[in-house]
Homo-oligomer: A and B are copies of this chain.
Amino acid sequence: MTTITGVQVFDVRFPTSLSQDGSDAMNKDGDYSAAYVVLDTDDPTLAGYGFTFTIGRGNDLAAEAARQRAQSLIGRDVAELVGDLGAAYRGLASDSQLRWLGPEKGVVHLAMAAVMNALWDLAARRAGKPLWQMLVEMTPEQLVDAADLRYLSDVLTREQAIALLAEMEPTRLERIAELKARGGYPCYTTSAGWLGYSDEKLRRLLQEAVDEGYRHVKLKVGADVEDDVRRLRIAREVIGWDAKLMIDANQVWDVPEAIEWIDRLAEFEPYWIEEPTSPDDVLGHAAIRKAVAPIGVATGEHGMNRVLFKQMFQAGAIDFCQLDAARLASVNEILSVYLMAKMFDVPVCPHAGGVGLCELVQHLSIFDYVAVSGTLEGRVTEFVDHLHEHFTDPCVVKGGSYTLPSRPGYSAQMHEESVAAYSYPNGSMWSADPSS
């Protein structure tokens, strides 16, 4: 019997604020960070790696919450845990004292994501398969057993969830072959459009994106409307009018302001406006969507839990669902969002970037195509070319597509040297003063 022998938690921070990587109208100085969890076992060849993503201060809170969340796993039988990941999830979620601090949102929920991501990684490593493959080999009943359907039965019952998955089951292998043939799952790049970049850098990075084969690019907006007009004009000059141009306001507007501002930018024909207002504002997004059509409305990277997404779908509030693999409580909750998205016919285009989010979402998008949605129509997954060098199995993007991961796990393991160097505040990159 293999058991979990311990939990290691690391507060890993990268000083990205120095280069303005990741800068937008709301988040001007993020230090991309991971609350990183390692579940050790008494099998020296087997461990689980997971994390949640933050942007600096408070990453210690997420790490400590993850440590507390994971304590009850110590001493547990690995086979039993990974044999019923729904039960493992419900066990962790049943801590009513920690639940009070959310419920199911904020630091304690980010911590659930980190711990369950490590457990799903452990399960896939033990199975010797990349996570996406492990998922697409599970039966509809097994997948639904793992999903968190609590509070969703007014839109999605267990029976409906199984039926949705069963419908796509006979043709799963065809879609795996199709994805391999087309070079992977389509993605878009945000690397060009951070708000802190100069016009020259913007133009150069956009040209590079076009040259690399991207048909979608995204720019940050929302700090100054005249700047936005100028930057979007540059973007259209470089990418032309056939490529898709997305814009992202990172929650800076009230609802009426959003409608007015987007109207001003409509001449550049944005494909979507992302995070136009508070991520909690279901009815606000619905109002904005109605007002700015045919520009699509996208949100989800701060979508706190499945109950929020349920309402986004019910209210017809979004054209694109941008779930986050480290904010939702891992595959258990993400499965439910994918199933609801399928039911409401909303494409899921996961948020990525940050630290390691690209590594995670590639598995989710492939699973979605193969086992849930069965289509690439309107689907494109975010890709940001930052910090992949710190992962042992970094995502590989070629010609605007994520190639299919082949190594066991959820691609969530970081190099030990990276964890050591960037651990805050005592890693060598911090104690040596990264600004000097």
Contact = CB atoms under 8 A, between A and B. Distances in A.
A152 B101 CA distance: 25
Interface string A147-171: 0001111100000000000000000
A281 B98 contact: no
A405 interface: no
B101 A106 contact: yes
Interface in A12-67: 26-31, 54-58, 60-62, 64-65
A297 to B, nearest CB: 15
Contacts of A87: none
Given A57-B95, A151-B284, A103 B302 contact: yes
Contact of A97 (B55, B98, B101, B302): B55
Contact of A101 (B28, B110, B315): B110
Contacts of A109: 106
A348 to B, nearest CB: 20
A307 to B, nearest CB: 4
A54 B101 contact: yes
Interface string A244-258: 000000010011110
A296 interface: no
A251 B100 CA distance: 11
Interface stretch (A226-234, A272-280, A376-384, A426-434): A272-280
B103 A315 contact: no
A125 interface: no
A289 to B, nearest CB: 14
Contacts of A257: 153
Contacts of A281: 151, 307, 310-311
Please give the count of copies of this chain that the complex contains.
2
A68 interface: yes
A117 interface: no
Contacts of A108: 58, 61, 106-107
Interface in A284-343: 284, 287, 302, 304-305, 307-308, 310-311, 314-315
Interface string A95-119: 1111111111111111000000000
A70 to B, nearest CB: 13
A81 B390 CA distance: 43
A173 interface: no
Contacts of A60: 64
Contacts of A302: 103
Contacts of A153: 254-257
B283 A304 contact: no
A349 interface: no
A282 interface: yes
Contacts of A104: 278, 280
Interface string A129-159: 0000000000000000000001111100000
15 contacts: A30-B97, A54-B97, A57-B98, A58-B68, A58-B97, A61-B68, A61-B107, A101-B106, A105-B304, A151-B255, A151-B281, A151-B284, A280-B304, A281-B307, A284-B311
Given A102-B106, A153-B255, A280-B305, 8 more contacts: A58-B68, A61-B64, A62-B101, A101-B110, A104-B278, A107-B108, A153-B256, A154-B287
